[in-house]
Amino acid sequence: MPRSPSRTSQATAPPPTSLPDHELFLSRELSQLAFNQRVLAQAEDPSIPLLERLRYLCISCTNLDEFFEIRVASLRTSVQFGGTQTIDGIAPVSLLNAIHQQASALVDAQYRFWNETLRPALNEAGVRILPRDAWNARQKRWLKEYFENEIMPVLSPLGLDPAHPFPRILNKSLNVVVVLEGKDAFGRAGGMAIVRAPRSLPRIIRIPSEISGTTQDFVLLSAVLTAFVDEIFPGMKVKGVWQFRVTRNSELVVDEEEVENLAHAVRDELLGRGFRPAVRLEIAENCPGHIVDVLLQNFSLPANAVYRINGPVNLNRVIQVYDMVDRPELKFPSFTPRPSKLDTDAPFEQLRQRDVLVHHPFESFSGVLDLLAHAAHDPEVLAIKQTLYRVGKDSPLIEHLITAARNGKDVTVVVELRARFDEEANLRLADRLQEAGVQVSYGVVGYKTHAKMMLIVRREGDRLRRYMHLGTGNYHAGTARAYTDIGLMTANEELGADVHALFQQLSGLAPSFKLKRLLTSPFTLHGGLLAKIAREAEHARAGRPAKIIAKMNALNESGVIRALYAASQAGVEIDLIVRGACTLRPGVKGLSERIRVRSVVGRFLEHSRVYWFQNDTQPELYCSSADWMERNLLRRVETCFPILDPKLAARVLDEELTNYLADNTQSWVLLPDGRYQRLLPVEDEMPHSAQNALLARLCH
C-alpha cells in the first residue's frame, strides 16, 4: 500500500476561522483525564452494585496508568527535545503542570473513595480487604507464616552501596524502599535497601476460612510485604518502610522503514519496554522528602512526577477480588445475549437474500463465529481473509482459521503486531497461525491495521461469490460481552469487491483502488467525512434539512473539527456522542452553538462508531472502525462501511444514536470550558438509560 498524500483531503476543508487555535480546541490530555473522572463517578454511584463499583474504581486506576505510559510519556519526550505548544495553545511544560494538578486531584479522590466509602461498604457486605491495622492475632500469625514460606524465599533485597547501585525497576512493579539501622553479617552499616516483589507472587492473598471463618477475607501483597519486611534483615532495625511504584514510557518505538523483519523488531522492543524512561513515581504519602528525592534522582524525574498515595500503590490489583468472590447480588444482573439472526445451517443462502446485523453485547458474538466455522468446513469455500487487531486467549475464532487451513482453504490473516499492550500476544498468535499453514501478513509499514473485516470466497456454480463480516469492534469474544459494537454480515457485491481490493493492498503491493462503497483510511475516509460535513452545510444554507449525528470513542482531528464548526455556523444541527477525549469546544456563540457533545459511561464500554448524515431527504448511515482522530483518519488502515438495507439503517439509527441522545441517567454533557456535567432527569421526565433499554429490548 503506497503512502497516502500528506493532506490532500484538506482541499475540501473550510477556510480557517479567525479565532486563535487555543479558543478552538480543548486539550486532549485534560479531556482524557476528565473521562477518567467520569469512570470514577460510576464507582461513586451508590445505585450500582458494590463489586461493580470496585471494578469501576480499578478501571479508573488502570486507565490512569495507560494515560501516563502513553500521553504523559509523549509530552515528557516533547519537553526533552524542545517541543513547542500543541494545537490547544498549551506549551508541553505548562500542560505537564496542569496534568499533575488534575491527576493529583483524581488520585486523591480515588483513594479517599477507597478508604472512606468503598472498603468500609465491602467490609459491611462481608467482603473484607484487610489493612494491617485490622488483622487479628490469628490472621497475623498465619500471614507471617505465609510470608516466611511463600514470599521471602523468592525475594532478593538489595542494599544500596557502591557495590550495589540502584537497581533497574520494572514498569508498574511493586517495590518497597527500606531504611535500616545497624550492621549486617559483613559489618556493613545500615542504610537504604530496595525490595522488589516478583511478578510471580499473587498480589491478592485469600486468608483461609479456618483462620478467618469466611472465604471472603483478603490481604494485599503490598501490606504483607511492608508488615514483615524486617524478617528479611535479621539483626538490623527497620527504621521505615514505604511502598512505591514507577510508571515508564510504554510506547513502542520501531523504525519500520529501517527494519527487515517487523516481527523481530517488535520482539526486540518488547524486551526493553519495562525499563524505558520513567514518567511517574507513586509512593506512600508518609515517605520522608529526602527518600523521595533519592528516588526522583535515580529515575531522572522532576517534582511534578510524584504522586503521594494514601493506600496501596497498586490499587488496581484489587480488581482480582471481583472474580474471586461469588456474590451475584453484588454484581450487575446476568444477561443472555439474543442469538444473532444468522441461519447457522445455511448462512450463505441467507446472506444472498439479505444482510444480517449484530449489535454487541446485546446480541451474541456466536453468529460471527458460526459464519467462520461454517466456512472452514464448507467444501465450496476456497479462501478466507481476516484482520486481527485484538483477539482473546484461546479464541475459537483462531481454531476455525486453523481448521480452514487444514481443510485446504487458502487462509490469509493480517495480524497487527503493534496493537498497544497486545503486541506479545499477537506475536504468539502469528507464530501459531503460521505453523498451521496460514499465510500471515503484518500489515503495512507505517500504518497500523485497525480495520475489522472478514472475507470468505466461495465457488457457487460457474462463479465466485464473496461473503463478509465488517465491524466496529475487534474479533474478541470477551470484549463482545463488555463493549458495544456493530457488526454487519453481507454478500453485497460492491462491498465484496471493495473488501477484496483492500485485502490486496494489505497483503501485497497493490495500487490505490477506487472503491465503490467503502471509505478507507488513510485514503478516502478523511476527505469523505469533510465532503459529507460540507454537504450538510450546503443543505442548511439552501434551507434544506441538514443534521449530523455521530458516535465515537474520541475526537481530536483538527480538519474534521473545523469542518463541524463551519457546518454549525451554516445552520447544521450536530449531536456528537463521544465516550472519551474530545477536543472540540461545543456551544461557543458564533462558532459551535449548534453542536452538542455528550459522553455516555455505563455498564458496557461504548465502542461503536456510527455516523449519520441527514443529506436532505436521502439520509446516509455508516459504521466504522475509526474514531475521528488524527491517527485513525491519517495514519491507520480503517474501514467505514454503509448500512445499505433501509430497515437495518433505521435500526442502527434508533438503537445507537436516537436511543443514546435520549439517555438522561448515564450521560455527561460537555461544556464550552471542557468540564462535563452529569445529565439528570428533569421534573416529570422519565429516567432513561440507553444501555438498560437495549438490555430490556434485546436480551433475556
Helix-strand-coil split of the chain, %, nearest 5: 40, 20, 35
Grid cell of 632 as nine digits:
485513525
**Among all residues, which ones are annotated catalytic?**
450
Give the side-chain half-sphere CA count within 13 A for 87: 15
Backbone CA torsion sign across 490, 492, 496, 499 = negative
Residue whose grid cell is 454537504 = 535
Cβ neighbours for 448, distance < 8 A, ≥ 6 positions apart: 416, 418, 419, 631, 635, 636, 637
State the Cα–Cα distance between residues 506 and 269, nearest whole angstrom.
24
Query: What sign for the dihedral angle of Cα 381, 387, 391, 393?
Result: positive
Q: Could you tell me how many residues make up the chain?
A: 700
Number of helices (H), then strands (E), belonging to the chain: the values are: 23, 27
Strands 175-181 and 278-284 come out as unpaired
CA distances from 467 to 348, 384, 439, 514 (A): 8, 10, 20, 20
Based on its alpha-carbon atoms, the radius of gyration of the chain, rounded to whole angstroms, reads 27
Three-state secondary structure string covering 408-422? CCEEEEEECCCCCCC
Angle at 302 between CA 298 and CA 305, to 5 degrees: 100
d(CA 37, CA 50): 18
CA distance 96 to 79: 9
